[in-house]
Structures are given as C-alpha cells and as structure tokens.
Structure 1
C-alpha cells in the first residue's frame, strides 16, 4: 500500500559510529603491540634464535588472549557501535590466531632449548615441565585451548548444542588463568623491569575487569534494579508467540528498537537456558515485548509461561538500530520471524520508509496487521511479498521495481541466513553502498 510521504529528516553528520568503534579497537590493539615489542627489545635477546621467536610468539599470544576477552566482554559502548555478531566473529578468528601463536611458542621454545642441550624435543619438554616453574601449567592451558579450538571449528560447532559448546568454551577462562601464572613465573620480559611487570598486570587486569563488569556486574545490577516479570503471553499464530514483560524504571533501561536481549525465564525447568530474542516493539519505558517462533524446546516453552514469571535479561545488545542511519529515508526488509526487529524499528524511524516483508504464504506473515496499521500511521509503504524461494522474489529487478531509489536509502535487513545472503547480493548489484546496509547475524545462538 502507498501512503502520504513524510518530509525527509536530516541525518547526523560526522564519522559513523561503527567506524569509531572499530578504529578504537584497532588503535588499542596496535598501541599494545608496539608496547609489547618495546618491552621485548628492552629485555634483551637470547643467543638462540628459536628461543627468541618462542618468547615473542608467546608474548603476542598473551596480548591477543587478553584482546579476545575484551571482544566478548559485552561492553555497551562497543556493542552499540559494532554489534555482538561482529565482535563474536572477531573473537572467533582471534582465537584461532591465539591457538597458532601458542603452538608456535611451544615448538620454538622446546626445539630452541633442545638445540642447546643433548635432549630430544620430547625429553626436553618433559625436562622443562619438571624443572621450570609454570611450564606444566602452560602445557595444561595449551591442551585446553586445543580442545576449545577443536569444538569451535565449523564442522564440530554445527553438530554441538549451543549449551554444550558454551560449557566447554568456559574452560578458556581456566586456560587464561594458567597462561597468566605461567607468564608471571617464567616470562623473561614480564620480569625484565618494573614497568614491564606493571604493564602486563594492567593488560590482564583491564581484560578480566571488562569481562566481569560486562558479563556479570552489569546484568546483575540491571536485573536487581528493574525486576522483570511476564505480564502477558499472546499467541500470534500456531507456532509464534509474543511475551510481554514489565518491571521497575524501564524508562532508564537503555534499550532501542532493533536490539535484542538474552532472556532467561526463571521456571523450574528453563532457568538455566538463555535465548536471544529481539524486541518486537520499540521500548516505551513501561513494557518490553519479544515475539518468537517455535524452533526448539526453549522457544516452544514460551507459550506455556505463566503471568508473573520472573525474568533475567542480559542486554540490550546489538547495533541494528537507528544510531547508524546515514540517509533521510530507509528500506526495511524482513523475512519470516525476522520481522520482529523490523517492526520495532518502524516505530522509531523518522523520514519516509518502505517495508518489504518476504514470506512463503500470507499465513506466515506474523505481525502483518500491526505492520499495516503502523505503516499507515507513519506514512510508510508496505509490500507483502509471498511465494516459494525460487524464483527469488527479492532479486535486483524486483527490489528496483519496489523501491526505485533504493541506492539513496538506508537498508535494514533481517531474516533467515539464505534470504539475507541473497538480498545482500541484490543490494550490491543495485549499487547500494556498504555503509547504508545494516544487518545483524545472531551467531551467538549458533
């Protein structure tokens, strides 16, 4: 349907928030890499080149390990600008870099010391573990990281339940502690000067404090403050349900349309399970709403929640918000239950919007009536696109027909991965600049 067009709204000039966030992280990493190199040079070089390389790879593995903790600390400033999906992806690839650096560190050190002794590499490793304080702890830490790396490989990750993978992944914190104690006990550079010692204590202190603050203290404080409870459970269709939640001082909860929470409903059988669900309505300071499709035991159990059930929510998370607007007008493209953050964004967006909702059949169009009424109230266009995946109903030609000026608009996209990949390809063909394309992948849930 076509409605009255609203006047365009000016967007904020200046550097994009995502660029600020990424630049901040890169600058922190680069500055610390330089500092590590300086302290390493000041400590002096061993006569054996293999030992030199071993020490250097060990130091950079320690630095990247601390950086990994920062990436998953869920600090609001970084999360709002970069997004948990991208931070989690960077954490994953940084983890593989740490793994290769640690393996290189172990090989260089063992073969370096073996060159200076009459021992073969295996006996040299045993000798180091028996005679050098902290080496045995380092071997255990490396073994843990090898196991975590194996279960994080794409082949294994797809075959593990998220809870199983997450439980194994938590042992990384044990490896971090063991690696740090090894560095304290055996690190030549660590003890080379008071400044180097203070620096490394500072690096690990900031990393661990960030994790503790972002993943423990802040969620506990917010939940104690807001005391969330279920107020209503409304079936939207046979396999989709909306849950309404209220609490105290929700006007002070820094949630925005397009974001999501990790929800724990404190029932006897589900209190331990956290699921990421987007807000399906813009926060109004009084109520939060999520809408979920049955896709597993956790989402299926939502239909049976009782009014008054206590809720523990971690968040809000995500960069899929109007903070990243670059153009006065927008296109909102939703697929299936991916309509939930799109529907919330439509409430908050200013300027003219075109909403494209892609489903297989009319019956699959969850929240369509709400979208229709909201589009009418806000002067937006709404297009319901139905049909099988093939032929592609959102191919470049179809998108250009529905939105002729799409290259001059911000595009917000949320839906199943195959549909999102296809639409992203269409947008590239239509010449939509990358900074105008906004999407988020919920990789946390696997």
Structure 2
C-alpha cells in the first residue's frame, strides 16, 4: 500500500475553529425516527386494508368453508395490492424517502416486496377459484371461464400476468441476462399492471362499495402511489430539465474506456446536489434518447458547469462516451444518501475502487472536514485504472486528509478486496484506518468487491449505521 503520487504525511487530528460543529448524532436520530415511521406506515397500510374489509363485510361473510376460503383469497389480494402500491411509492424517488433512507435502501425494500406481493396475488386468484368452485360444486379450473366473464376480470388477469413478468425479470439470475435499458423497459410494465388490475377492485363483488371508508381508503392509496410516480418520475424531471437547460459542453478522455463529460447549464447550483449523489441522465441523440443512465457527479457543479465521469461497461455507456458536443440532456435527481449529510461519526473513512472513485471525488470536495479527520484508500487492479486519483490527491492535500493507494490484482488469501501484495504484508482495515470504529465508512465500487469490503468492516466491529455503500449495479 502506498501514498498517492505526492506522498502525504498523516496530519494530527485538529478541528478548524472556523468550521461550525455539526451535531451528527441528532441528524442521525432524526433520520432514524423518520425511517421507523416509514416502516410503521408500510405495515399499518396493509393491516388497515384488511381491518376495513373485515369491518365492513369480510368477518360476516366467512360463515361456510367455501366463503372462508373466498375471504382468505380477498384478504391475500388486498395485502398483495397494498404491497404493490408501496413498491410504486418506493420506486417514485420521493424526496422525503430519499433523504430519510436513501435511494439504495428504498430500491432494496422495493425488490424485497416483489416476491411476497406476487405470491399474495397468485394466492388471491387461486383461493378465489377454489372458494367459488367449492360454492358451486365444480372444478376450480372450470371457474376461470365464468370469472373471465365478470366485468373487468380480463384486465385483472392481464395485470397479474404483467406483474409476474416484472418480478421474474427482476430476479438477479434473470436480470443479468438483460441490458439495463432492456430491463428498465420491461420494468415499466409494472405501471401498466397496476392500471389494468385497478378496475376489477372497484367493480367486482361489491368489496369496495360506494360510500364506504374502505373505498375512500383505497382510492387514497392509488392516488398517493400513482400521483407520486406522476409527480416525481415525470413532472419534476421535466420541470428541472427545462429550468437548467443542460447541454454537453465537452468530452475528454480520462483513460482508455473512461471519459469525463462536461455539461453546461443554467443555475446548476440550484440542483441542490450533495457530493456523492447521482442523477439520472438522458442524452437526446438518435442512438441514446430511449434509455437513461444513473451516473454520479464526479465534481461539484458551479452555476454553469457540471461533470460526470463514465466508464464503458456496456452498449449504453459506450454510446454516451462519444456523445456530440451540444447534445441536449434531461435529468432526474439528485438522489442518494452517499454524501456528507449521512455522516454520524466524528471521523471519515473512504474506500473506493475503479470507477467508484467518481462519487468519492465529489463527496470529498463537498465534505465539511477538518485536517486529520478523513482517511481515503483508493484501490485499482492496475495503474491504468487510477481514474481521477490526481484530482483526489489535490483535494485530500488541501483538506489535510490522509490518502493511500493500493494497486494490484485481488488477493487469493486474506481479505480478497485488497491487492495480493498488501494482503501478504498483513495489511488490515484497522491498520489503514486506526480510528475505524469512530468513523463513517463510505464504500464505492463493483458489487462483488464491495461485498468483501463490507464483510471485513463488519468483522472489524464497525456499527451498521456507519457503513454507507454505493454499488455500481442495478
């Protein structure tokens, strides 16, 4: 392990008297309370949907085995539908949710709800067929024909089929076979699935009869979920795009396969971005307009200029690396809690690998740190992957941070996220970061490498809430 090109001597920790003290514990406590509230609301919404149904009709109708099975089917459908709407809200990139739990965690919960929601909706259909079959004395499969004859039921079957497609394509093993653009296009079918399944909920069986609080509740849920998607995924990005009028100003090569794209716009500081956050970028050319790219800022914006740094990892990123100057750009964001705002501890530790240095560079530029407060470790397999290391070195030197670099292939023994040479030298995370347990640890890089770093950090005893990871996957 070495220092960067200009050796940096560790600086004894001291606080600049001009730097205002930040009560990070209070900030964390506020986010934790809000996070707990959001989780509570998630479960309460499902419980409320069942309680309202049972209060209005469900508890009185389950008087026979057939009606009991039918009631179970309806309850499964209500909870499954509630989970789907919660998933839409989590995917809507609502600022309150993003600032509270972060985009990555919201997406993680969104994915975790996918399978339970699908199983509940499948159970909904199966139990209704069984219940109706028991009531009429016929084979449940034979009930499909009469059920399809009910108002809006063909749309409900279509919506279920679309949701199955969305969930299956979201499985890791399946998702890896898609390009990001192709997967994203398929995932948009979740909106169609919700809209096509909506009518039968209000028209079949009188479950959500007019004039009941149950109906008001479900209309409110749909307005909240679809409204959040409409406002934050469509309306706000359009407004932001027209307000800032961003175009490509310059494209420069950082290293083979890596470019920095300089973007010119209006009043870009008003984006409100924090160092380390990302935006969703769409470049309006004939080859790139139909897909978007989640890319972190690699430098803090000025009033008129911003910069992102991109590595060619697929067809989409390869196309934008050769984008023409003058291309119009639309944006969504900024998003994410991979920023100084999320800090809870007095020290700052950063580990980044490969193109993962891009948000770290902006994070370090924007972070409010005193000399000696931050330690950074940059990791690369070879010297050609030392992207932006010179810039990070200059920022670290200016802010009194300690900077180390680690170059070489991953170790076969010892911590696998390290280089072979440093693992043989018995370098440890605690030797690089002596104040690790008093630090917020920011990690960015490829998922497999990052998983190894996180495991090592947890083994060293760092609390979970002090680990902030930004994965370069989808």
| Equivalent residues of 1:43, 1:192 under 8 A apart | no
Given that 1:336 and 1:415 are in contact with CA atoms closer than 8 Å, whether structure 2 keeps it comes out as yes
Contact 1:55 1:105 in 2 (8 A): yes
Say whether the 8 Å CA contact 1:70–1:207 is kept in structure 2: yes
Structure 2 Cα separation of the partners of residues 425 and 21 of structure 1: 27
1:414 aligned residue (440, 444, 460): 444
1:13 pairs with 2:34:
no
| C-alpha distance 177-252 of structure 1, shift in aligned 2 (>3 A) | same
Does the Cα contact within 8 Å between 2:444 and 2:472 map onto a contact in 1? no
| Contact 2:351–2:378 (8 Å) recurs in 1 | yes
The 8 Å contact of residues 73 and 124 in structure 2, kept in 1 or not, is answered as yes
Instruction: Tell me the residue number matched to 1:30.
Output: 43
Instruction: Give the conservation status (yes or no) of the 8 Å contact 1:257–1:283.
Output: no
The aligned counterpart of 1:43 is 56
In the alignment, the residues of structure 1 paired with residue 320 and residue 135 of structure 2 have an alpha-carbon distance, to the nearest angstrom, of 64
2:27·2:344 contact (CA, 8 Å) conserved in 1?
A: no
User: Using the alignment, how far apart are the partners of 1:192 and 1:60 within structure 2?
Assistant: 20
Q: Deviations over 1:16-53 (max 9, x none)?
A: 25524432321222332332233112222323210110
**Aligned partners of 2:338, 2:349: CA distance in 1, in Å?**
13
Corresponding residue to 2:254 among 232, 236, 243: 236
Equivalent position of 2:396 in the other structure = 375
Alignment of 1:263-342 (within 5 A): 263-342=281-360
Q: Which of these residues, 138, 145, 155, is aligned with residue 156 of structure 2?
A: 138
Deviates more, 1:221-230 or 1:294-303: 294-303
Q: Deviations over 1:336-365 (max 9, x none)?
A: 110011111111221311110011222321
Relative contact order: is structure 1 or structure 2 higher (C-alpha 8 Å, sep ≥ 6)? 1
Q: Summarize the Cα distance change of 1:187–1:5 in structure 2 as closer, same or farther, 3 Å threshold.
A: farther
Shift in CA distance, 313/194, structure 1 to aligned 2, threshold 3 Å? same
Question: What displacement does 1:103 show?
Answer: 0.9
Select which of 72, 75, 82 maps to 1:53.
Answer: 72
- The equivalent of 1:128 in structure 2 is 147
Q: Does 1:195 align with 2:213?
A: yes
Moved more, 357-366 or 200-209: 357-366
2:453 to 412, 420, 423: 423
Deviation string 1:391-411 (CA, Å, 9 cap, x unpaired) is 442768422222212111111
Distance 2:31 2:353 in 1: 25
> After alignment, is 144-153 or 97-106 more displaced?
144-153
Per-residue CA deviations over 1:392-434 (Å, capped at 9, x if unaligned) read: 4276842222221211111111011122111111111211111
* Structure 1 vs Structure 2 CA RMSD: 1.9
Q: Which residue of 1 aligns with 2:374?
A: 353
C-alpha distance in 1, partners of 2:50/2:164?
A: 26
Native 8 Å contact 1:83 1:440 kept in 2: no
How big is the shift at 1:165?
2.0
Indicate whether 1:438 and 2:468 are aligned: yes
Aligned ranges 1:118-267 → 2 under 5 Å = 118-130=137-149, 132-191=150-209, 193-267=211-285
- Preserved CA contact (<8 Å) 1:231 1:308: yes
Structure 2: stretches of 5+ with no match in the other structure: 1-7, 16-20
Q: Residues 11 and 328 of structure 1 are in contact (CA less than 8 Å); yes or no, is this contact kept in structure 2?
A: no
CA shift, 1:111, in A, is 0.7
TM-score, normalising length: structure 1: 0.94
Q: Is 2:9 aligned against 1:2? A: yes
Name the structure 2 match of 1:400.
Answer: 430
Aligned counterparts of 1:302 and 1:160: Cα–Cα separation in 2: 19
1:105 to 99, 104, 124: 124
Structure 2 CA distance for aligned equivalents of residues 31 and 144 of structure 1: 27
CA contact 1:261–1:316 (8 Å) conserved in 2: yes
For these two proteins, the number of residue pairs brought into alignment is: 443
Answer whether contact 1:66 1:203 (CA < 8 A) is retained: yes
**How far, CA to CA, are the matches of 1:18 and 1:397 in structure 2?**
35
Separation of aligned partners in 2, 1:116 and 1:379: 76
Aligned equivalent of 2:5: none
The one of 377, 395, 405 aligned to 1:384: 405
Q: Secondary structure at the match of 2:86?
A: helix
CA apart distance, 1:298: 2.4
TM-score computed with the length of structure 2 as normaliser? 0.89
Question: Retained in 2: the 8 A contact 1:18–1:324?
Answer: no
Q: Please, which runs of 5 or more residues in structure 1 have no aligned partner?
A: none
